[in-house]
Amino acid sequence: MFNDKKIGSLYVAPFVIGFLLFTAFPFVASFVLSLTDAQLQDQLGSANFTGLQNYTEMGRDATFQKSLGVTFFYVFITVPLKLAFALFIAVVLNFKLRAIGFFRTAYYLPSILGGSVAIAIVWRFVFAGDGLINQALEIIGITGVNWLGEPNTAMFSIILLRLWQFGSAMVVFLAGLKAIPEDLYEAADLDGASRVRQFWMITLPLLTPVLFFNFIMQIVQAFQEFNGPYIITGGGPLKSSYLLPLMIYEEGFKYFNLGYSSALSWVLFVIIAVFTAIAFWSQKHWVFYAQDREDKNGGAQK
Amino acid sequence: MSQSATTPDNGWRKHMPVINAFLRYGILIIIGFMMLYPLFWMIGGSFKNNQEIFSSIGFIPKEPTLDGFKKGWETSTEYTFATYLINTMKIVVPKVIVTVISSVIVAYGFARFAIPGRKLLFALLMATVLLPKSVLLIPQYLMFREFGWLDTYLPLIAPQAFAVEGFFVFMIIQFMRSLPMEMEEAAVMDGCNSFQVLTLVVAPVILPAIISVALFQFMWSMNDFLQPLIYLSSVEKYPVALALKMSIDVTEATSWNEILAMSTIALAPSLILFFVAQRYFVEGITSGAVKG
């Protein structure tokens, strides 16, 4: 609306300054730090340049390899399950139901509260040896497991906490479902297509843009999981829930190895960047934008 | 989705809508109950004594007591829980205010001006949404240490004055783009400058988006744990998140009711705001995904 570039730049200036100072500079600085042996307690000037040593160190660091493995395990289990569940509930909810508002609220609430320390603590109590789940199992005659004390089940509690927060993805799916024109289903009904077939041939293709958005957001979020392992399991037992963000924190602020911690954070960054790049690159093969198709058809008619 | 009721071809088909609705309600109620149970259990547990928490899975206390709240409020430190609640507000309220102001100003620049390098800047804005925060953690810490800001609230608040959360700016840009511009053009004709247009014409209209941003930032800041953990070292400055973490380190083995009671209090502001304003959350989160 306004063409004055100087005034426009003035409005955007806070972002540009903030981006340079709080994002771009720290981003580059952490890579530089990752090439040094900087320690938290020392003056920065006293750090030595060590080249790629921090990165080669990871090849020998069994803790890092364990952490990387459990991080992938966590993300690969959590994200698909969460998206599938969010989509399933959204489809069930997308119906002329009474009290739809009530259900939507009930399902959405956990994703708002779930990131808090308070909920993480409740979760710790729910999964504790004498906690809610084991008490419930006892009633039906099953001896409980020490969920947080066993390497095989500790991660399970964190995964469940994040699955519990499927609401925000569900709300986005629901908005996507509402945007699908009703007449498509009516036409499919006339053609005798079953509900299941309608889901695969109409609903899912038209939801792919929303699925794409949810997938990116969930991947980025899952790789940064910190509160869960820090508060619920402490990363244990035997590092079985020692997710990479927790390791980055502990290397930096518990063991004071700023150089190594920075290198780890760059590995995490590269992993997330690769996943988002693959998602963006592949979207032309599976994400269906209705607008594109209309444009192409329009072009063909001309 | 509505035609099957009108085709009386066989009995099974006739009852489809009823079975369908029955199934849907059944699934929704069972899952909904399981999902909300941990919250019921937390609230109920804060009114129980400790023996009862360990001996019954029901959430309605048999002998309600306020012991959990009384003892929990005193905390194991020299401060009461009120200190931590006030500290939280000292962080969250300024953070929300500067976030809203900076995000609106920057979004206005993006949505209404021809800026040099606009495409690149917008791409950078979106990139900040995807960038993992942990890659910035250590240099930011060192920077704030140089500023002499450790053990103050400044590292938590000051960056927000520069619209560092791309998600919020994006939300407001999307909202502004959906508005017709006649009103603003008329205001310019009447001699308003661009800043007057923003404050007098645009701001009132984008109020729903502003509320969404404020609510999300409120919730996220209430939940924020890692940043206070790194920057705050004196207990007297701890927000609720750190105080709760401290309480499980000290009294977890014995006093679940105290911890559950304080968790309930910690979640109360978010719970109340959520129920009062949930449509703004829903609109906020869907605006980026669907309109965009």
A234 Cβ under 8 Å from any chain B Cβ:
no
Average pLDDT over residues A137-146: 85
A48 Cβ under 8 Å from any chain B Cβ:
no
Q: pLDDT-based confidence at B4, cuts 50/70/90?
A: very low
Decide which of A8 and B148 is more confident: B148
DSSP 8-state assignment for residue A21: I
pLDDT at B1 over 70: no
Structure tokens at B2: 């509505």
CB contact under 8 A, A176 and B290: yes
- Residue A133 counted as domain residue: yes
pLDDT in the model for residue A118: 93
Q: pLDDT-based confidence at B14, cuts 50/70/90?
A: low
Contacts of B151-156 spanning 24+ positions with Cβ under 8 A: B151/B231, B151/B232, B151/B233, B151/B234, B151/B237, B152/B231, B152/B237, B153/B90, B153/B91, B153/B94, B153/B232, B153/B237, B155/B227, B155/B231, B156/B91, B156/B95, B156/B221, B156/B224, B156/B227, B156/B228, B156/B231
Supply the range of the domain harboring residue A154. Answer: 35-294
Distance of CA A253 to the CA centre of its chain: 24
- Distance of CA B187 to CAs B190, B196, B198, B208, Å? 5, 9, 10, 21
Q: What are the residues facing A49 on neighbouring strands? A: A36
Q: In 3D, which of A198, A160, A179, A9 has the Cα closest to residue B113?
A: A9
The label of the residue with tokens 């979020």 reads A221
- Residue A301 counted as domain residue: no
CB contact under 8 A, B113 and A8: yes
Residue in chain B nearest A115 by alpha carbon: B223
CB contact under 8 A, A116 and B274: no
pLDDT in the model for residue B109: 93
pLDDT in the model for residue B8: 46
A44 Cβ under 8 Å from any chain B Cβ:
yes
- Distance of CA B134 to CAs A159, A252, A263, B156, Å? 21, 11, 11, 15
- Residue A142 counted as domain residue: yes
Residue A252: list chain B partners with CB under 8 A. 137-138, 141
Instruction: Please answer whether residues B221 and B153 qualify as being in contact, where contact means their C-beta atoms are separated by less than 8 angstroms.
Output: no
- Residue A47 counted as domain residue: yes
- Distance of CA B190 to CAs A1, B22, B183, B184, B187, Å? 15, 60, 11, 10, 5
- Residue A264 counted as domain residue: yes
A106 Cβ under 8 Å from any chain B Cβ:
yes
- Residue A1 counted as domain residue: no
Residue B140: list chain A partners with CB under 8 A. 22, 26
Total count of domains within chain A: 1
Q: Identify which of A118, A224, A262 has the shortest CB distance to residue B267.
A: A118
pLDDT at B108 over 60: yes
φ/ψ (deg, to 5) at B137: -55, -55
A2 Cβ under 8 Å from any chain B Cβ:
yes
Average pLDDT, chain B: 87
CB contact under 8 A, A95 and B24: yes
Question: Do you know the residue count of chain A?
Answer: 302
Task: Please give, rounded to a whole number of angstroms, the shortest distance from the CA of A38 to a CA of chain B.
Answer: 11
DSSP 8-state assignment for residue A252: H
What would the pLDDT profile of A201-215 be if each residue is shown by its tens digit?
888 999 998 999 999
Q: In 3D, which of B61, B220, B238 has the Cα closest to residue A111?
A: B220
- Residue A6 counted as domain residue: no
A228 Cβ under 8 Å from any chain B Cβ:
no
CB within 8 Å of chain B, chain A residues 165-184: 168, 171-172, 175-176, 179, 182
What would the pLDDT profile of A5-48 be if each residue is shown by its tens digit?
788 889 999 999 999 999 999 999 999 999 998 888 877 777 88
> CATH number of the domain that A136 lies in?
1.10.3720.10
pLDDT in the model for residue B11: 60
- Residue A261 counted as domain residue: yes
- The three-point CA angle B183-B117-B105 to 5° equals 40
Task: Please give, rounded to a whole number of angstroms, the shortest distance from the CA of A11 to a CA of chain B.
Answer: 5
CB contact under 8 A, A132 and B41: yes
Quick one: what percent of chain A has pLDDT higher than 70? Answer: 95
What would the pLDDT profile of A87-101 be if each residue is shown by its tens digit?
999 988 887 777 777
Does the pTM exceed 0.95?
A: no
B145 Cβ under 8 Å from any chain A Cβ:
no
Average pLDDT over residues A128-150: 86
Instruction: Please answer whether residues B20 and B28 qualify as being in contact, where contact means their C-beta atoms are separated by less than 8 angstroms.
Output: no
What kind and span of H or E run contains B15? helix B11-46
B289 Cβ under 8 Å from any chain A Cβ:
yes
CA distance A210 to A169: 9
For A261, left (φ over 0), alpha (ψ -120 to 50), or beta? alpha
